[in-house]
Structure 1
Amino acid sequence: MQFKNKDFSDAREVLNVRNLRIGLTGRPNAKPVIDGIDLTIRAGETHCLVGESGSGKSVTSLAAMGLLPKSALEVQGGSITLDDFEITSASHSQMRQLRARRIAMIFQEPMTALNPVLRVGEQIMEVLNMHSDLSPSEAKKRTLDMMDQVHLPDVNRIFSAFPHQLSGGQRQRIMIAMALILDPDLLIADEPTTALDVTTQLQILKLIAEMQERHGTAVLFITHDMGVVAEIADTVTVMQQGQIVERAPIAELLTNPQKEYTRTLLTAVPNLTPRPARAAASQSEVVRVAGLDMTYGGGGFFRRSEGVRAAQDVSFTIQPGRTLGIVGESGSGKSTVARAIMRLIDPTAGSVNVAGTEIAQLSRRQLRDHRKHLQIVFQDPYRSLNPRWTVARSLCEGPINFGVPRAEAMRHAAELMELVDLPRDALDRYPHQFSGGQRQRIAIARAVAMKPDLLVADEAVSALDVSVQAQVLDLLDDIQERFGVAMLFITHDLRVAAQICDEVLVMQRGEVVEYGPAGEVLANPRHDYTRNLIEAAPGRHWDFANYRVLDSATMTTGATA
């Protein structure tokens, strides 16, 4: 693996942060959120800012953009200069002129950053209309040219599209086009690839690097994924609880980390080495899916169409205590299969047998009594947990609905809190009072409360820091070992699949292209699509736990380094 090895010592300083302190508004004596950090980014440099949630990464970027929420956070000391311009004392109108022209930002979720009722071409042109004197025809020509530069297909069609009509990767390309259309000196990218599948993520990372090379832009890239850092960084700054704990060139940081916190972050990064195969708790099958089809649309009163086949002839089995991972890009049909098995949607055809009952044809009323046998953990626990309910009510709702006395349900809820490493007194708190990882633990406890035969985890760790991700994966592993529950694990990250799955099923455009033991599929993939997914995994050439590059034999066979 070749690291970027450029010397930026003679390049001009674009962003200079000195002794920056950010605290709660109106509370100068409270512990600062950002505590005296220094940061320098030079022209053409990619500087990665890494750390767990709550470390202060995003707050630092918002301060550089002048976007701190005034009612909550304020700069209490230090300076932030862009070239020679002091940002901390700039007026609102000055910052308005600065943004887009000299400093721009790409946010994590483009669907919330883009206006849903404006066509995407108009939103890019809006930047030009506010900050340039171009005529409407010149602005449109410049916009189409930039859309072409970020490799969007059929730019005239996409120019007139609304955000919801584009894929996640296309929406992120629109955000990059908006950010770079005025050739800013500094681009801040705040977790821009976290929600994307690995192949789209790789495309976006290559695109940012290409645009940086073309325009000479300095890039501040914020991420929690050290695999991404290994691919793109020139320099890395590690943050913890508002302070900088380590800073070094990428090769030095990965081969010789100095701080324990940095070593912890590196060790938590999943790799593509499959877990040792586990024996099934029994030879029976908890789940048997045969010939599952799911077609959306397909006609109406005035016309007939074949519809969109989101899943085609999907078949697999899962035994007690084992995990089947379904992997693939966005739109491959992974979540469609999971939702059809859960009967959140009704499959068009096929058989779904869970715990000895054929559920594909059950009515909604018949299905109610069978729900306790299968439970699901969603990607975003904050949206799946009722914000107005205490944790106790969320954990007790299911058992009480199935006839468990309230006192017994409460006792079991307290035991579940200990199982997921949360204190019993947290039962009286609400979801917003927990971190993302803690909320996901609560969602897992809620699912386990029903003592299911099948647990479906739909991208359950994709939005978590790598260290929290590792903890949640260990928790799911422990629950399986204790209760012998079968698990269907949906993910776009083959590194995660390698850590938890016994079998892997690879899907592309609704079809199964490969299915077998995880060790065989990940170490010796037979299909080109599977090989492409593996090649796209960020940091796949790096052994993070041992601070070294994987040798070619290890990468080929999947053997433990």
Structure 2
Amino acid sequence: MQFKTRDFSTASRVLKIRKLEVGLAGRPRAEKVLKGIDLDIRAGETHCLVGESGSGKSVTSLATMGLLPKDALEVQGGLIDLEGFEITSATHAQMRELRAQRIAMIFQEPMTALNPVLRVGEQIEEVLNMHTDLSQAEAKKRTLDIMDQVHLPDVQRIYSAFPHQLSGGQRQRIMIAMALVLDPDLLIADEPTTALDVTTQLQILRLIEEMQERHGTAVLFITHDMGVVAEIADTVSVMQKGEIVESAPIRELLTNPQQDYTRKLLTAVPNLKPRPARVVAEKAAVLDVTGLDMTYGGSGWLRRSEGVHAARDVTFDIAPGRTLGIVGESGSGKSTVARCIMRLIDPTGGEVTVAGTEISRLSRRQLQPHRKHFQIVFQDPYRSLNPRWTVARSLCEGPINFGTPKAEAMKHAAELMELVHLPTDALDRYPHQFSGGQRQRIAIARAVAMKPDLLVADEAVSALDVSVQAQVLDLLDDVQERFGIAMLFITHDLRVAAQICDDVVVMQKGAVVEQGPAGAVLSNPRHDYTRSLIEAAPGRHWDFANFRALDRAPAAQGATS
């Protein structure tokens, strides 16, 4: 494993934070959100700020940018110094001038950060028009140049595209171009790769590193993924409950963590070593997918077109008590297959048999009695749970619709809360009153309430920090073991697939390129595409649980054994 070992002791200090306190606006006696943190970042350095959700990472970045939500949070002590400029006492006009020119930020979700009704080229030019005296022609030339620097294909076409016409990775490249177009001294990247698949994530990480070396930018990189930290960090600060509990160079932190909390974060990181194969009794498959095909578009009224083949001849089955994972990049067809199986969309070909019934050709009315046999857990529980319903109502809705008396459904809801390790007195609360991990537990409880034969988990842990992710994976394992449910697990993270899947299907551009037992596919991949996914997994050369580097990547070990 090659760590960054660059020496920044003689480099100029770009950011200095001392005893920074952030609290609730107008409530100086309330408990602080940030409790006197210190931080230094030097020119050309990548400093990673890590910790669980709610630890204060994003609040630190927003305070540094002068973007704390008005009337909600405020700086109540300490200083933030950007090369001699005191940010905490700056006026709104001064901060407006400072942003983009000397300090810039890349947000986690570019689709919400970009204006959906403006072409992306215009949005980059807007930064130049606001902070420079360049002519329109010069601004466009500079925009096309920075778009080329971030390796966007066909920059003339993308210049005129709207955000929704680009992929997630391309949108994130636009955000990077927008942030770096004026060569700022400090770049803050707040979870910029969390929602991206592993190959796109690797491209973005390499791009940030390349742009940093080209422009000499200091980078504050905020993440909960210690695998990403191992790939890019020079130095690391670990945050917990508004405090920095440990700071160290990357090698020192990963090999000799001093704090229990740091060790907890490291040991929670999933690795690429597949779990031991489970032995289950030979039973008929709960889910049998044969020749599944899904084509979007196709024959038009005025002209014929072939359409987009999102899934082509997909075939697999899952036995009771087994977990099959579908892995691949964004656009590979993973979620399309899941939605076809759930009949959220109607497949254009093939057969889907669940619990002995072929469901792909049933009408909505015919399908209704069979819905209880297959349930789904989505990526974002906040959007899949009704915000106006209490937890009790969400958990009881399905059973009551299928004839369970209300009193019995309420009793079962309380049992489900205990099953997912949440207090039963929380049944009367609403989704917004829970953390992201707790909401996902509720979503799992709602799915299990129907006592299904098949559970589909579509990127169910990708938005969670590593420690919560580990808890939810353990919960899914426990639920499956108790009820003997067959599970289809959709993920772009091969490390997660290795921890929970018995079998793996690898998809690329709508087709299955490799499938088999997880141990065989992940340890000794046969297809080049599978190998590329494994090579792109962040932290693949690191044994986080034992605080040591691996001599070889897991895939290479398997290939030579």
Assess same fold via TM > 0.5.
Answer: yes
Query: 1:358 aligned to 2:353?
Result: no
SS of residue paired to 1:270? coil
CA distance in 2, matches of 1:532, 1:281: 34
CA distance in 2, matches of 1:556, 1:176: 33
Q: Which residue of 1 aligns with 2:532?
A: 532
Q: Which residue of 2 aligns with 1:104?
A: 104
CA distance in 1, matches of 2:343, 2:557: 38
Q: Scaled by the length of structure 2, what TM-score is found? A: 0.99
Q: 1:192 is matched by which residue type in structure 2?
A: P
Question: For residues 240-276 of structure 1, what are the alpha-carbon distances to aligned partners after superposition, in whole Å with 9 as ceiling and x for unaligned?
Answer: 0000100000000000000000000000000000010
Q: Contact 1:273–1:558 at 8 Å: present in 2 too? A: no
Q: Which residue of 2 aligns with 1:18?
A: 18
Q: Which residue of 2 aligns with 1:54?
A: 54
Q: 2:248 is matched by which residue type in structure 1?
A: A
Structure 1 unaligned spans of 5+: none
Q: Which residue of 1 aligns with 2:30?
A: 30
SS of residue paired to 2:44? coil
Q: Which residue of 2 aligns with 1:307?
A: 307
Q: Which residue of 2 aligns with 1:437?
A: 437
Q: Which residue of 1 aligns with 2:317?
A: 317
Q: 1:329-368 to 2 correspondence within 5 Å?
A: 329-368=329-368
Q: Which residue of 1 aligns with 2:504?
A: 504
Q: Contact 1:541–1:555 at 8 Å: present in 2 too? A: no
SS of residue paired to 1:338? helix
Query: Runs ≥4 in structure 1, deviation > 4 angstroms?
Result: none
Question: For residues 185-235 of structure 1, what are the alpha-carbon distances to aligned partners after superposition, in whole Å with 9 as ceiling and x for unaligned?
Answer: 000000000000000000000000000000000000000000000000000
Task: For residue 66 of structure 1, report the CA deviation from its aligned partner.
Answer: 0.2
Q: 1:446 is matched by which residue type in structure 2?
A: R
- After TM superposition, the structure 1 stretch with the greater mean CA deviation from structure 2, 84-93 or 273-282, is 273-282
Q: Relative to structure 1, is the Cα distance of residues 337 and 479 closer, same or farther in structure 2, using a 3 angstrom cutoff? A: same
Task: For residue 280 of structure 1, report the CA deviation from its aligned partner.
Answer: 2.4
Q: Which residue of 2 aligns with 1:458?
A: 458
Q: Which residue of 1 aligns with 2:219?
A: 219
Q: 1:250-289 to 2 correspondence within 5 Å?
A: 250-289=250-289
CA distance in 1, matches of 2:91, 2:424: 48
Q: 2:25 is matched by which residue type in structure 1?
A: T
Q: 1:444 is matched by which residue type in structure 2?
A: I
Q: Which residue of 1 aligns with 2:44?
A: 44
Q: 2:99 is matched by which residue type in structure 1?
A: R
Task: For residue 553 of structure 1, report the CA deviation from its aligned partner.
Answer: 8.0
Question: For residues 6-61 of structure 1, what are the alpha-carbon distances to aligned partners after superposition, in whole Å with 9 as ceiling and x for unaligned?
Answer: 11011111000000000000111110000000000000000000000000000000
Q: 1:178-217 to 2 correspondence within 5 Å?
A: 178-217=178-217
Question: For residues 326-373 of structure 1, what are the alpha-carbon distances to aligned partners after superposition, in whole Å with 9 as ceiling and x for unaligned?
Answer: 000000000000000000000000010000000011010000100000
Task: For residue 551 of structure 1, report the CA deviation from its aligned partner.
Answer: 2.2
Task: For residue 550 of structure 1, report the CA deviation from its aligned partner.
Answer: 1.0
CA distance in 2, matches of 1:418, 1:136: 62
Q: Contact 1:281–1:319 at 8 Å: present in 2 too? A: no
Question: For residues 490-534 of structure 1, what are the alpha-carbon distances to aligned partners after superposition, in whole Å with 9 as ceiling and x for unaligned?
Answer: 000000000000000000000000000000000000000000000
Q: Contact 1:235–1:247 at 8 Å: present in 2 too? A: yes
Q: 1:6 is matched by which residue type in structure 2?
A: R
SS of residue paired to 1:370? helix
CA distance in 2, matches of 1:106, 1:556: 34
Q: Contact 2:295–2:308 at 8 Å: present in 1 too? A: yes
CA distance in 1, matches of 2:92, 2:390: 41
Q: Contact 1:274–1:558 at 8 Å: present in 2 too? A: no
Q: Relative to structure 1, is the Cα distance of residues 28 and 553 closer, same or farther in structure 2, using a 3 angstrom cutoff? A: closer
Q: 2:251 is matched by which residue type in structure 1?
A: A
Q: Relative to structure 1, is the Cα distance of residues 121 and 499 closer, same or farther in structure 2, using a 3 angstrom cutoff? A: same
In the alignment of these two chains, the number of paired residues is: 559
Q: Which residue of 2 aligns with 1:234?
A: 234
Q: Which residue of 2 aligns with 1:327?
A: 327
Q: Which residue of 2 aligns with 1:135?
A: 135
Task: For residue 299 of structure 1, report the CA deviation from its aligned partner.
Answer: 1.9
Q: Contact 2:16–2:41 at 8 Å: present in 1 too? A: yes
Q: 2:491 is matched by which residue type in structure 1?
A: T
CA distance in 2, matches of 1:535, 1:556: 9
Q: Which residue of 1 aligns with 2:515?
A: 515
Q: Relative to structure 1, is the Cα distance of residues 553 and 45 closer, same or farther in structure 2, using a 3 angstrom cutoff? A: closer
Q: Which residue of 1 aligns with 2:480?
A: 480
CA distance in 2, matches of 1:223, 1:71: 26
CA distance in 1, matches of 2:557, 2:370: 42
Structure 2 unaligned spans of 5+: none
Q: Which residue of 1 aligns with 2:494?
A: 494
Q: Which residue of 1 aligns with 2:116?
A: 116
- After TM superposition, the structure 1 stretch with the greater mean CA deviation from structure 2, 287-296 or 298-307, is 298-307
Q: 1:503 is matched by which residue type in structure 2?
A: D
Q: Contact 2:455–2:485 at 8 Å: present in 1 too? A: yes
Q: 1:420 is matched by which residue type in structure 2?
A: V
SS of residue paired to 2:300? coil
Q: Which residue of 1 aligns with 2:86?
A: 86
Q: Which residue of 2 aligns with 1:164?
A: 164
Q: 2:171 is matched by which residue type in structure 1?
A: R
Q: 2:492 is matched by which residue type in structure 1?
A: H
Q: 2:139 is matched by which residue type in structure 1?
A: A
Task: For residue 282 of structure 1, report the CA deviation from its aligned partner.
Answer: 3.9
Task: For residue 555 of structure 1, report the CA deviation from its aligned partner.
Answer: 5.1
CA distance in 2, matches of 1:550, 1:215: 33
Q: 1:204 is matched by which residue type in structure 2?
A: I
CA distance in 2, matches of 1:480, 1:551: 35
Q: Which residue of 2 aligns with 1:149?
A: 149
Q: Which residue of 2 aligns with 1:544?
A: 544
- After TM superposition, the structure 1 stretch with the greater mean CA deviation from structure 2, 546-555 or 108-117, is 546-555
Task: For residue 279 of structure 1, report the CA deviation from its aligned partner.
Answer: 1.6
Q: 1:500 is matched by which residue type in structure 2?
A: I
CA distance in 1, matches of 2:342, 2:260: 42
Task: For residue 558 of structure 1, report the CA deviation from its aligned partner.
Answer: 5.3
Q: Which residue of 1 aligns with 2:5?
A: 5
CA distance in 1, matches of 2:383, 2:392: 17
Q: Which residue of 2 aligns with 1:399?
A: 399
Question: For residues 377-429 of structure 1, what are the alpha-carbon distances to aligned partners after superposition, in whole Å with 9 as ceiling and x for unaligned?
Answer: 00000000000000000000000000000000000000000000000000000
CA distance in 1, matches of 2:259, 2:13: 27
User: RMSD of the alignment, in Å?
Assistant: 0.9
Q: 2:54 is matched by which residue type in structure 1?
A: G
CA distance in 1, matches of 2:276, 2:400: 39
Q: Scaled by the length of structure 1, what TM-score is found? A: 0.99
Question: For residues 434-487 of structure 1, what are the alpha-carbon distances to aligned partners after superposition, in whole Å with 9 as ceiling and x for unaligned?
Answer: 000000000000000000000000000000000000000000000010000000
Q: Which residue of 2 aligns with 1:471?
A: 471
Q: Relative to structure 1, is the Cα distance of residues 96 and 553 closer, same or farther in structure 2, using a 3 angstrom cutoff? A: closer
Q: Which residue of 2 aligns with 1:420?
A: 420
